[in-house]
Amino acid sequence: MPVTPLPADKLRACCDLSDLTFETTDDLIGGEEVLGQDRAFEAIEFGLGINNRGYNIFVLGPTGAGRHRYVRRLLDVRAAKEPKPSDWCYLHNFDEPRRPKALELPAGMGRQLRNDMTQLIEDLRAGLPAVFEAEEYRNRRHAIEQEFRERQEKVFEGIQEKATARNIALIRTPTGLALAPVRDDEVIEPQEFQKLPEEERKKIEADIEELQQELQQNLREVPRWDKERRERVRELNKQTTRGAVAYQIMALRAKYMEFGTIVAYLDAVEKDIINNSAQLFLESEQETPAMPILAALQHEQEGPRRPELQFRRYEVNLLVDNGADTNGKGAPVYHEDHPALPNLIGRAEHQAELGALLTDFTMLRAGALHRANGGYLIIDARKLLMQPYAWEELKRTLFAREIKIESPFQAYVSTVALEPEPISLKVKVVLIGDRELYYMLAALDPEFDELFKIAADFEDDLARNDDTVNQYAGMVAALARRLGVAPLDRSAVARVIDYSSREAGDSEKLSARVGTVSDLLTEASHITGQADRRTMTGEDVQKAIDLRIRRSDRIRLRSQEQITRGTVLIDTEGQRVGTINGLSVLQIGSYAFGRPTRITARVRMGRGEFVDIEREVSLGGPTHAKGVLILSSYLGAHYAVDRPLSLRASLVFEQSYGGVDGDSASSTELYAILSALSDAPIRQDLAVTGSVNQYGEVQAIGGVNEKIEGFFDVCRERGLTGTQGVLIPRSNVKHLMLREDVVAAVEAGKFTIYPIATIDEGIETLTGVPAGDRDDKGQFPKGSINALVENRLIELADARRHFGLPAEGTGSG
Amino acid sequence: MTRTIRRIVVALDDSAESRSVLEAAVSLAARMKAELAGLFVEDATLISAAQLNFIRQVSLSGEAIEAMDSQSLERSLRGQAEAIRAEMQRAAGRHNLTWSFRVARGKASVQILAAVAEADLVIMGKTTPAVTRRHHLGATAKIVATQPRGSILFSEPRLRRVLGGPGPITVAYGQGPTGGDVLDMAVLLARASEGELLMLIPADTPDDGAAIQRALSERMAQESLRVRFRRCAQRGAAALTHALAAQRGNLLVIAQDSPLLGDDTIADLIEALDSPVLVVAPNGAS
């Protein structure tokens, strides 16, 4: 029974303008930007409600489905109702400087403490020098210095006087001190000295030796005296500082008396300031060495002092400031766009100084986990996995429930590095990624399930019905407002909705990929603006779609050109045995298009072999091979089942060099073999798509719209004859969202779409010969395709058997 | 006023003080656009001592006593000279100065006084490397100060510059034979420092002071400088020190025989003051 072609109204779902009860999208208020994701929403809400460890959320789904936007909005609303988490600071550890101390404070107090400490140091820097410049201090200091200076002077002058009395001079050499005999204030020349009586010479030498011993003894004492002097000065400095510092710190201690950790810190600060006051607060403070030469040596060894750096230890490194107004009202929601390891767990910055990289607790910087602590952290899963060490460190941190700032190389390189005290962590992490990533992590990482117990799976599409169409219109309106594009009139909204169905590849569905619609609105609005109109029309939307295709279809045009110029052999008229037009889809970036491919089959006697030439040369994928095996099974089970299948069939995609996969051509290949076996020619003005099962039922395939349009474009280029058309699986009819020009051609009777359910329907349509059903005796009607095929297979089996018999006149014996 | 400073000699040794003096000299030469000549004196006393084979030197730590031999001493002195020469080269290079450097051997005071003949100004540190610090003024500086020739600036090692401080250039005016030279030098420095000139006038009565001030005002009218006057009735180093401190003067220009010294010597004044002192010798002495 001939197959009834599809009427034009089955080829495309068209939005009925009368269903849209608005003039422009400006009339639509309160639309949601994300539709049809109820299950995902429930999952997210569920995950957010559980505060136990591991109840982090992985939001999976297609790109452009509005996952980020929805998650952000949901979290913002939820977080606003939650309390602000603590501030976190890092402080200098006076006992162990390389292990900075972490300090948790109520929100806003970190900033207070930081400002108070800054003010304290400023006050001390202003006030303490005055204390040190006071007459009392200066006099006491001077007395100490003088005492020690005099002690030294006395000793050395004593030596000098003794030397002078014996006509000996104390002189300075480049590396020390020496004693030499003098006469008239001049050192005696060697010749003069030799002229002296031996007794006198010996006396001089003995005097010098004696003085030398005394000098050496006293020089040895100098460092001890100097140390003693420094200690006395240090004690004086402590006494001087103690009063001033105690007064300043007392006020702070009273202010923070409820916070034991701050009070302990202030105690440590006070002790440190008192111990180091003079060196810290007096820029000119240089402890005067006893001898000038020692001063020179000290300067050379230590270099100039940098007092500014020494005050850093009293700073408060406010790592997380939740008191700031800019951080919103409730718990933080932080989206880390660049989840590199340092951006995630924080880092210690370094400062280059004299070729070395130096750091301290003031250079510790917060990461996303610090900022989101007490709230929510959103990360793009793909970006996270692309960053070295980031995923492992995130897992480790979530397991440990504390953030530890350390370099990834710290474990491998034995340099002295900061080891800041870890900060306790309570955060809900929301990873957003595509499905492949989710399934990959779930399959390969045993820890993944422990940490991301909630999966929120966003749909690719939603059902198209009256309700959803109206909701979709509301979504388009909301998108238009957010994007700031021209408002859409009804025709424009209708066009967008139809486009959405086409994107979904299903006339009964709407695409959930909001991102694609956003781009379309932006582009269409640009066209509206160019036309100097304020409202976007359906034509604007269509033009935007056309332009989008035009921007992407260079390859399609080249492919089609090769067919129309006869380089790639595709017939669109006439009939051929064993030759059929198959249809394939090429995906280039986000653009997909269909094109016809000639498939041919040749048969001969054999042993039931089906040679898939694509597979033989490694151009065919496993799914394609599967399709070929299925069709061979169909042949073997459908015809001459009581005889061995005695043919050898070869199948090939002609002029295909880029590889083939998928089973959408398996029915096409079967038609070609049936034609070859029955010798019934196939119409070349038809193209075919559809997979087949072992029972000869034609099954749905993907890309049906692109495939039909691909063949239509070739036919239109050559001129539509009215007989041309495409055979598609009947189960694909609901997916039809064909271009308007294709629909128009069908409506005008210039092109035909045949919905095919079985191989028999298909072969009848292609050959014009009935397929034929078996009668009561199990025979196919004479002249039918099935009869012709079966007869040919019987012939081949018989012939094969004949070849297997022994030749006449030969035998054993 | 026609006096200019085209060449400055700076006396150097290996001490830390000397490096400060070098910085001050470089800074002054740059301001005056003068050529700078470094003079490193190898102490003859030291060299003579090294020739006596029984002389030993005691290290500053007191831990070692070792022989002094001439060769190693000469090597050390050459090393010191080279180090200070390199430092001078760097400092002069920073200011794009014309500079030279030479090494002389002998008594430091003799060599410095001899250098006066070849320079418009000699700069030396107030202190020299000494065993003790009891005296602010070093032995060499003391000898040079008592036998001045030409213009000698005794730099204060604490200050790494001569000009450009917050206070005025101060001149101890005197009507003696060097009065004009002193004033010329002070004007030169004040102009180079783009600062104020403070003139200390020795006058027992206000009338006397006013008369001198009038005369000086007329003379200074053409110099386009900010000039202040202060009468000094007291004489002596202490009075001058007090006056300078009260006016926050940062450099004193004074004649070697200034009447303001009273009974004190110029060495006493240099010793007492914490600021640099430029001593101008009387005519005929240079």
**Do B57 and A291 count as a contact with CB atoms less than 8 A apart?**
no
What is the distance in angstroms between the Cα of B129 and the nearest Cα belonging to chain A? 7
What is the distance in angstroms between the Cα of B91 and the nearest Cα belonging to chain A? 18
Q: Tell me the C-alpha distance between B49 and B67, whole Å.
A: 11
Task: Tell me if chain B has a CB within 8 Å of the CB of A206.
Answer: no
Q: Tell me the C-alpha distance between A131 and A295, whole Å.
A: 26
Q: Which residue has the higher pLDDT, A111 or B127?
A: A111
List, in sequence order, every residue forming a beta bridge with A378; answer none if it has no partner.
A335, A430
Answer yes or no: are the C-beta atoms of A507 and A556 closer than 8 Å. Answer: no
- pLDDT tens readout for residues B133-168: 444 567 788 888 887 778 899 887 666 566 656 678
The predicted model scores a pTM of 0.66
User: Which residues of chain A, if any, have pLDDT below 50?
Assistant: 284, 286-307, 808-813
Answer yes or no: are the C-beta atoms of A25 and A487 closer than 8 Å. Answer: yes
Cα→Cα distances A178→A191, A295, A423, A614, B50, Å: 20, 20, 63, 102, 9
Q: Tell me the C-alpha distance between B62 and A220, whole Å.
A: 5
Q: Tell me the C-alpha distance between A545 and A524, whole Å.
A: 8
**Do A296 and B15 count as a contact with CB atoms less than 8 A apart?**
yes
Tokens of B184: 């010329």
Looking at residue B180, its pLDDT comes to 80
A533 HSE (CA, 13 A, CB side): 15
Task: Tell me if chain B has a CB within 8 Å of the CB of A168.
Answer: no
- Three-state SS for A352? strand
Answer yes or no: are the C-beta atoms of A54 and A474 closer than 8 Å. Answer: no
Nearest CA in chain B to A157: B132
Answer yes or no: are the C-beta atoms of B231 and B160 closer than 8 Å. Answer: no
**Do A174 and B76 count as a contact with CB atoms less than 8 A apart?**
yes
CA angle centred on B142, ends B137 and B147, rounded to 5°: 155
The single residue listed with the structure tokens 């694509």 is A614
Nearest CA in chain B to A217: B62
Q: Tell me the C-alpha distance between A414 and A420, whole Å.
A: 17
- Three-state SS for A693? coil
Average pLDDT over chain B reads 82
Nearest CA in chain A to B45: A187
Q: Tell me the C-alpha distance between A276 and A241, whole Å.
A: 9
Looking at residue A328, its pLDDT comes to 65
Q: Tell me the C-alpha distance between B110 and B113, whole Å.
A: 5
Looking at residue A327, its pLDDT comes to 57
Task: Tell me if chain B has a CB within 8 Å of the CB of A160.
Answer: yes
Q: Is A707 a catalytic residue?
A: yes
Q: Tell me the C-alpha distance between A281 and A307, whole Å.
A: 8
**Do B60 and A176 count as a contact with CB atoms less than 8 A apart?**
yes
Q: Is A84 a catalytic residue?
A: no
Which run of H or of E encompasses A213? helix A198-255
Of A520, A499, A473, A539, nearest in space to A14 by CA: A499
**Do A181 and B52 count as a contact with CB atoms less than 8 A apart?**
yes
* pLDDT above 70: residue B285: no
Task: Tell me if chain B has a CB within 8 Å of the CB of A99.
Answer: no
Contacts of B79 in chain A (CB under 8 A): 174
Tokens of A687: 């193209």
Looking at residue A350, its pLDDT comes to 86
Answer yes or no: are the C-beta atoms of A527 and A550 closer than 8 Å. Answer: no
CA angle centred on A510, ends A505 and A511, rounded to 5°: 75
List, in sequence order, every residue forming a beta bridge with B193; answer none if it has no partner.
none
Catalytic residue from among A277, A501, A525, A664? A664
Q: Tell me the C-alpha distance between B20 and B88, whole Å.
A: 11
Residues B46-54, mean pLDDT to the nearest whole number: 84
Widest pairwise Cα distance in chain B: 68
What is the distance in angstroms between the Cα of B209 and the nearest Cα belonging to chain A? 36
Cα→Cα distances A209→A168, A172, A205, Å: 11, 17, 6
**What does DSSP say about strands B35-43 and B7-12: parallel, antiparallel, or unpaired?**
parallel
Contacts of B46 in chain A (CB under 8 A): 171-173
A793 HSE (CA, 13 A, CB side): 25
Nearest CA in chain B to A220: B62
Contacts of A216 in chain B (CB under 8 A): 58, 62, 65
List Cβ neighbours of A630 (8 Å cut-off, separation of 6 or more).
A663, A666, A691, A692, A693, A694
- Burial code of A236-267, b = ≥16 C-beta within 10 A, e = fewer? bbbebbeebbeebbeebeeebeebeebbebbe
Q: What is the DSSP string of B19-75?
A: HHHHHHHHHHHHHHT-EEEEEEEEEHHHHHHHTSTT-EEEETTSS-EEE--HHHHHH
* Cβ pairs A/B, distance under 8 A: 118
Q: What is the DSSP string of A448-506?
A: HHHHB-EEEE--SEEE-SHHHHHHHHHHHHHHHHHHTPPPBBHHHHHHHHHHHHHHHT-
**Do B58 and A176 count as a contact with CB atoms less than 8 A apart?**
yes
| CA torsion angle A427 A428 A433 A437 (round to 10) | 80
**Do A193 and B48 count as a contact with CB atoms less than 8 A apart?**
no
**Do B14 and A212 count as a contact with CB atoms less than 8 A apart?**
no
**What does DSSP say about strands A509-511 and A461-463: parallel, antiparallel, or unpaired?**
antiparallel
Catalytic residue from among A525, A707, A750, A784? A707
Which run of H or of E encompasses A280? helix A260-281
Answer yes or no: are the C-beta atoms of A188 and A181 closer than 8 Å. Answer: yes
Nearest to A171 among B49, B63, B127 (CB): B49
Q: Tell me the C-alpha distance between B26 and B14, whole Å.
A: 17
**Do A177 and B57 count as a contact with CB atoms less than 8 A apart?**
yes
Tokens of A727: 């055979």
Looking at residue B134, its pLDDT comes to 45
Answer yes or no: are the C-beta atoms of A595 and A710 closer than 8 Å. Answer: yes
Looking at residue A308, its pLDDT comes to 62
Q: Tell me the C-alpha distance between A187 and A227, whole Å.
A: 35
